[in-house]
Structure 1
Amino acid sequence: MSLLPVPDPAGAAARSVFAGADVAATARLTWLDGCPRPRFEDDVWSFVGWADAPVQMKVTEKNLLFNRIVHPPWRVIVKELTLAWIATRDERVLALPRARRIARHPRTLHARLYHLTFWLNWLTEHQITTLAAVTQDHCDAFLREYGVVRDKTTGAVLRSKAGGSLRTVVSAMQDITDYSEVLSADRHRPGFRPWGRRSPRLVTGAPARPQVVIKTEPLDDDVLRPLLTACLHLVDVLGPHIVSLRAELQAEREARGSVESSRTLRDAGLLASLVDAHLRTGQALPRLGDGQVTKRLRSGWDPADPLLPVNFQGLLRPSGHRDIGGALLVQARPLLEGAVAEVGTEYAWCRDALGVPRADTGEQVPWSLPLPTLSAIALIRIASHACTVATSALTGMRSSELMELTVGCRRTEEADGTGLVRHHLVSKVVKGRLWGGEVDEWVVIDEVVRVIPLAEQLTDARPGQSLFGPFHGFESKGAMTWLRKWVASPAGSRMGLETIPDDPVNPRRLRRTLSVEMAARPGGLLATKVHFKHLKVATSEGYAGRPGGAQAVFHHEWKKEEEKEKVKRTVEAYRQFEQGQLPAGPGADSLMAAFRAVEGELADHEPGLAKVVTDRQIELLLKKKASVLHLSAANYCWFEDPAKALCLKLAGTRSAAAPLTGLCDSSRCPQATHHLSHRSIWQTSADTRRPAGQSPDPGPGEGPAASRTRAVDAGSRRDRHGSSRRGWMTWH
């Protein structure tokens, strides 16, 4: 076998087709002014200056470290590969018959370089210094070794890597052959390609087109309810006070920064006047935080010293001095000890806080107890985290889309002549889009409109800069860690907030939860304050306004969940029918006729042959019936014939694609039924004389008297229908 000669490493770059190239210009990347531009010869390419880099792109992903490849000539070929992957419109790359025509995202370069570094260093460890000596046996051996995860201490195999995760390394290994025409330092022998013409999918056993199975579990209501209650309480109730606290802290920081560090008070008379001001007003002396007290103890202070917790910097702040001189402290000790005995010490921030209502009882309590500086800063950060979590939960935005929100992202649009106001958030969609993402808008509800301005007041970012900044999930010292600790602390308990369980919370789960909840309970309440119907209207409007936008994707996910929920509810109603729990309402007879038809189809089989009926068979038979189901808080609407729909008759509309839920009168509509799941709602309606399904706090004029009477007396009207009355009595 003849081996290709390996060029001298020092001259390899000079013979490269990309020698001296400006990486950013060759790849046609938009670059920030003043930022260094990577050159082909650099052993580290920094993409920190890439103007369109997504916020979620980590700093480590922006730095490509070719110097980790041990054998110098191979650094050159990996640089050539890397540039060819992103510069697909370069003439030298277009000339390659097997080169990829769609540019790889700069984020993926870091991963591919990572895999290639392992492969090439593995060859070096096995005494192979030229790619011409690589055989298929080497490739198979490396993939077997690289395809398992081992214990770092014992070396024992813990698990095998999934086939999908190995496709990248196989693809990168094969690219050395596919891009060989632009490789100058080394190449495979002629005719050799790792695994030949087999694709990475076939080599690794990864599925061809893996079926998208959503494995993300939605949050339980036991987690979602206290979480959103805490976030909205921080935003709506405590938010304005926290903004004022932040302004005071900033003013204090600026004033302190203007004082020279050498300014030490040595004037006994001035100190006496400062102490006397506290005594006259009965105001406690400033107190140190626990951390600073600990430092004093470590430096030799007596734990019983009454001046141990006194914050001298805070006391001297009005005089413009940094600290008190040692001699003056000894001289003025009797004065200071007397002041501590008379007025005591207290933290400087949030003294005499205004009252706010508790989240549970509404009782007025101070919005905060006095806080040391570090705790005050932490409270501001907690409020900022609450804004991030609330925005995620109430919009269904992905984490990448949340990170792309900027200061000034909110847009308000007033409809001419209607008095209606629509609110939009301008962000970028990064997933599955071109480099830098694409600008998109989300139609949002009022709660989000209150969250975003607060978040803007809690950040130093300027207009156009990232609002929430980069974050890597909400757990692991992220937003949820701070929120849980604060809610579980005495401060959260004083606000009447319920402890948030430790169930993991992240944007993906919040998006999944919103999708499932909107599909399952379109007339219910999200946690304790947010109306699903408002969320549904907002997301639908965003879908209609931008059919190809990110909100359309979320709309599609939610619709799929809604279809599943409709089938589930229909099967549930059928199972109750089988058990003798008959539906009620004017449409009960029609529904039971459909159920009897399904029952007949399931019973029709060869005599003498046993037949096992599965849920899947029932779902298939009931699929058509489920497709016309519309879920409401107090009834099911089987919208099969628009001509029979009472809501359309009341509205004077002959046809519509969906019922008009706002005009629903399920006690008279021939397509409405009531089931066991609606019993508690109707019972509450009877107890409170409020129309079934109405919000607990209806607005002015909401719910006419006739509707209230109809809701309370609905049971008596159903006595006119024999089967309906029978069903009503069954689940009562």
Structure 2
Amino acid sequence: MRRPVPAYSSPRRAESAFTGLYVCEVAGLRLPPKVRGPMFDEDLWVLAELVDAHRMVDPHELIWDFTEINNVAWRVVAKEVLLAMLAPQYQAVLECAHAIRSFSNPRTCYRYLMRLVTWFNWLTVMGITSLDNVTQDLCEQHLEEMHWSIPKPGRPRRRLDPNTMAEVPRSIQILALYNELLSTDRYPAGFAPWEGKTAAQVVGRERAAQNRTPPVPDALLQPLLATCLYLVEVVGPHIADLVEAVRADAATGQHLPDLKARDVPAVRRVIAEIRGSGEPLPAISAGQTIKRTTRGDESPLKQLAWSRLARRIGARRFTQQARRLVERELAELAAEVGFQRPWAQQSALIPRSDNGELIAWTGPLGGEDVELIAGYVITACLVLTSALSGMRSSELLEIEVGCRQPFRPTHSGGKRFRLAGRLIKRQRFGGVPDEWVVVEQVDQAVALAERLTGRADGEALFGTVGITGRLKNLRNWLKRTGNRERWGLPVIPEGPASARMLRRTLALSIAHRPGGLLAAKIALKHISVATTEGYAARPGGSQRLFLAEVQEAEQASHVQLTVEAFRDVQAGRMPSGPGARSLIEAFQHVDAELKEAARSDPKVLTDDRHLESLLRKQAKTLHVGPANFCWFRDPSKALCLKLAGTPNAKRPLVGMCDSARCPQATHHSRHRPVWLGQIATIDVFVESPRVAKGEKLRLTPERDRAVRVVAEIDAAAPAALVGKD
């Protein structure tokens, strides 16, 4: 906001340029038919009925109470500035030479209102009654006070991070941009708070050189994904069938009459049937039992599901009079047959996650238990959708029931799954329609969540996307109910896992291509292809931003891997493979440049920044394979392109790489475990009596090649063997 503020001589307006106007009409905010919304002159603006309000907007952000400003004249100032921000193309706003010309959305304006309330009321406490008396010293004093946290009993105040403080000076500065518009008060002529400085410069906020969002630690990510995949793919279909049955039963019961005293003979007939068969009485869930006990219910029938028993008799529920008439007989029956929850009494068998042993997926459940499990499986659907798509919180909130689009077949016989949504970030208020191309696991999770929620098309699918809190509840539920042990699931460690962290984790995973569950069970290549296709289909959509984040992380990773390979060569741990000689020569050239730079400009370097600069060109040619590095400098030498018949391609076909023969491929110490793993796998097949002799003969050259590659790695980098068996 580095804008000059003119020294004006014209008097203030006699009345506001917005007097008598409707706020939403001036701002172009859509309302339902026949709804006008608040007028400018009102001190309470309720914008709750905005048609385009997206789901990231909290209801309180659409209620603007200007009476919180003690000085009546400054209420008008706040209203004029905020409406000008909402309507930058309004004629009176266009006459302000330095007004903001881009549209601000109501959420942004609400934050400014909260800051202005604090600023104006602080001035009132300081004895200032007119903005004409505001000075730079007052601005500095207010900013200093806002830099400190609110006092708490027994705790010292702490200074807040400068990166969180930019809104304070920005809200003070913004008033100067609308001097020509203000009618009741304004800053003195020619005064601009912190003139010539942006709000970021005022607070000393550093521009982030890279994404600061931490990824989810692998120790948390792997068990979390394993658990969520199991809940969605194995448990999910069974609980969905059960949820639909419970809800259908409840819907049927809504149209039945109440069971009254005159129906007691029918109850006694059912009691006789149950006594004769020996079947247990229907029980409520464990949670409901605890609630009844907490309320002081110690009767022998506190576990009885009265509504379920009424349903068997053809009624909706027992009246109090009917209950009293049969309580004694039911208590006697309960002592004979006991209680059992009515749902999933004979549940299907599913394989345990850890060893594949077939087990009943659940014990008998009450209706409340069914809905509870469904809620936790929906959490698993949310985690998978976030972790495998890269959606932001705002985009997850805009996913609606019915968002799944018909899949598109690919030329190779695969499928491309699509989700309709909305792009909110950096768009006009309400966002714009968008579409995500996703992998099958995401489509499956969304389809399951639609079944479990039972909501109508167009309603929010997930409701809330506070993943950290929902994950904590899921973890506790698995432990409390014993389902983690029943299903053989891993322990999910404590720790946060927000949508932002999962997005960052996915971006880094695609860029780095690590091992682990994310790479093994869910093909990162498939997610990368889906993201690229989503970008190609909608170049201005959400997946463009996600793909850019992936590419940035990939470039940084390649630079780091190149630096590591260079340091290995310096330490005598040479690469092997057909491309090793040319890579070593390139590194020797860089090493010579470093030595020359040290002679001509001796200085102490605390990091690898200069080295990274020298290696950046080499890093741009790096393509990471699962068992080798490909230095794609010359497409005409790439073996994969020759085999595919595409010599003019711009990128190698890493999936077709034969690194033992390609002149641009190298093997490094980090690749040794991969080749050893291939040897072990081949040995298992060769030793198996079930594998055909011809297949064993085919595998023998593959094993010989892997053994040769390991030997070459060991010979070129003997230091890599330290500590290995």
In which range does the TM-score fall when normalised by the shorter chain?
A: 0.7 to 0.9
- How far residue 653 of structure 1 moved from its aligned partner, in angstroms, is 2.6
Matching residue of 1:661: 654
- How far residue 534 of structure 1 moved from its aligned partner, in angstroms, is 1.1
Unmatched 5+ residue regions in structure 2?
Answer: 1-8, 686-694
What is the SS of the residue equivalent to 1:127?
A: coil
What is the SS of the residue equivalent to 1:15?
A: coil
**Distance across 1 between alignment mates of 2:85 and 2:616:** 48
- Describe the shift of the 1:491–1:197 C-alpha distance in structure 2 as closer, same or farther (beyond 3 A): same
**Distance across 2 between alignment mates of 1:331 and 1:29:** 61
- How far residue 406 of structure 1 moved from its aligned partner, in angstroms, is 2.0
The aligned amino acid for 2:716 is G
The answer to whether the aligner puts 1:636 opposite 2:635 as a matched pair is: no
Q: Deviations over 1:313-367 (max 9, x none)?
A: 322222205226568657663x434533443211223221111222222222222
The answer to whether the aligner puts 1:459 opposite 2:453 as a matched pair is: yes
What is the SS of the residue equivalent to 1:425?
A: strand
Aligned match for 2:666, one of 655, 658, 673: 673
**Distance across 1 between alignment mates of 2:660 and 2:440:** 33
Matching residue of 1:359: 353
**Distance across 2 between alignment mates of 1:608 and 1:180:** 54
Matching residue of 1:176: 175
**Distance across 2 between alignment mates of 1:415 and 1:160:** 53
Q: How does 1:71-90 map to 2 (within 5 A)?
A: 71-90=71-90
Q: Name which of structure 1's ranges 264-273 and 222-231 shifts more when overlaid on structure 2.
A: 264-273
**Distance across 2 between alignment mates of 1:502 and 1:416:** 41
Matching residue of 1:106: 106
Matching residue of 1:197: 195
- Describe the shift of the 1:73–1:341 C-alpha distance in structure 2 as closer, same or farther (beyond 3 A): same
CA contact (8 A) 1:642 1:648 kept: yes
The aligned amino acid for 1:515 is A
**Distance across 2 between alignment mates of 1:245 and 1:682:** 47
The aligned amino acid for 1:632 is G
- Describe the shift of the 1:645–1:300 C-alpha distance in structure 2 as closer, same or farther (beyond 3 A): closer
Q: How does 1:552-567 map to 2 (within 5 A)?
A: 552-567=544-559
- Describe the shift of the 1:145–1:663 C-alpha distance in structure 2 as closer, same or farther (beyond 3 A): closer
- How far residue 677 of structure 1 moved from its aligned partner, in angstroms, is 1.8
CA contact (8 A) 1:487 1:499 kept: no
Q: How does 1:239-278 map to 2 (within 5 A)?
A: 239-259=236-256, 263-265=259-261, 267-278=263-274
- How far residue 281 of structure 1 moved from its aligned partner, in angstroms, is 4.4
CA contact (8 A) 2:559 2:612 kept: yes
What is the SS of the residue equivalent to 2:159?
A: strand
Aligned match for 1:498, one of 490, 497, 501: 490
- Describe the shift of the 1:424–1:170 C-alpha distance in structure 2 as closer, same or farther (beyond 3 A): same
- How far residue 660 of structure 1 moved from its aligned partner, in angstroms, is 1.3
The aligned amino acid for 1:642 is P
What is the SS of the residue equivalent to 1:408?
A: coil
- Describe the shift of the 1:280–1:637 C-alpha distance in structure 2 as closer, same or farther (beyond 3 A): farther
**Distance across 1 between alignment mates of 2:312 and 2:613:** 78
Aligned match for 1:650, one of 638, 643, 649: 643
State the Cα RMSD in Å: 3.4
The aligned amino acid for 1:652 is G
- Describe the shift of the 1:379–1:528 C-alpha distance in structure 2 as closer, same or farther (beyond 3 A): farther
Q: Deviations over 1:346-391 (max 9, x none)?
A: 1223221111222222222222222233332221111212111111
CA contact (8 A) 1:21 1:40 kept: yes
The aligned amino acid for 1:100 is I
CA contact (8 A) 1:422 1:443 kept: yes
The aligned amino acid for 1:176 is L
Q: Deviations over 1:585-633 (max 9, x none)?
A: 2223333333344444445565998987953444334333222121111
**Distance across 1 between alignment mates of 2:490 and 2:676:** 27
What is the SS of the residue equivalent to 1:215?
A: coil
Matching residue of 1:322: 317
- How far residue 290 of structure 1 moved from its aligned partner, in angstroms, is 4.1
- How far residue 510 of structure 1 moved from its aligned partner, in angstroms, is 0.7
With normalisation by structure 1, the TM-score equals 0.87
Matching residue of 1:531: 523
Q: Deviations over 1:162-219 (max 9, x none)?
A: 2x54443333333434323333333344x15243733443772445x82443111112
- How far residue 676 of structure 1 moved from its aligned partner, in angstroms, is 2.0
The aligned amino acid for 2:635 is P
**Distance across 2 between alignment mates of 1:213 and 1:418:** 38
Q: Deviations over 1:395-429 (max 9, x none)?
A: 11111111122222222353587644322222222
Aligned match for 1:595, one of 577, 582, 587: 587
Q: How does 1:40-119 map to 2 (within 5 A)?
A: 40-119=40-119
CA contact (8 A) 1:56 1:470 kept: no
- Describe the shift of the 1:183–1:266 C-alpha distance in structure 2 as closer, same or farther (beyond 3 A): same
CA contact (8 A) 2:54 2:431 kept: yes
CA contact (8 A) 1:225 1:526 kept: yes
- Describe the shift of the 1:41–1:637 C-alpha distance in structure 2 as closer, same or farther (beyond 3 A): same
Matching residue of 1:695: none
Aligned match for 1:488, one of 468, 479, 502: 479
**Distance across 1 between alignment mates of 2:107 and 2:368:** 37
Question: How many equivalent residue pairs?
Answer: 701
Q: Deviations over 1:111-140 (max 9, x none)?
A: 111111111112222333333343444333
What is the SS of the residue equivalent to 2:437?
A: strand
**Distance across 2 between alignment mates of 1:68 and 1:102:** 27
What is the SS of the residue equivalent to 2:32?
A: coil
Matching residue of 2:4: none
The aligned amino acid for 2:89 is R
- How far residue 142 of structure 1 moved from its aligned partner, in angstroms, is 2.4
CA contact (8 A) 1:43 1:66 kept: yes
The aligned amino acid for 1:412 is P
Q: Deviations over 1:531-582 (max 9, x none)?
A: 1111122122223333333212211111121122222222223333344433
Q: How does 1:565-576 map to 2 (within 5 A)?
A: 565-576=557-568
